[in-house]
Amino acid sequence: MPKVVFQEERCKGCGLCVLACPKKSIVIGDKLNNQGFTVACLAPDDQCTGCALCAEMCPDVVIEVWK
């Protein structure tokens, strides 16, 4: 199973990764970072396949996908 790592302090909660995920494995959560933005995280029913579309879409290079 792939490992998805979010650099939460750099996330601005734009939601582009949510739109890019074909499995809907990413959501904007309730957690705030130090900048006051709600950050992206894996959904509780995570079905990530490791396609890395989320990481490619992220304008702030917040997401790393390890297979």
Return the CATH number at 39: 3.30.70.20
Burial of 14 (0-12, 13-18, 19+ CB in 10 A): middle
Nearest to 61 by CA among 2, 12, 24, 1: 12
Query: What string of pLDDT tens digits covers the 67 residues of the chain?
Result: 799 999 999 999 999 999 999 999 999 999 999 999 999 999 998 899 999 999 999 999 999 999 8
Domain extent, residue 36, equals 3-66
Number of domains within the chain: 1
User: pTM here?
Assistant: 0.91
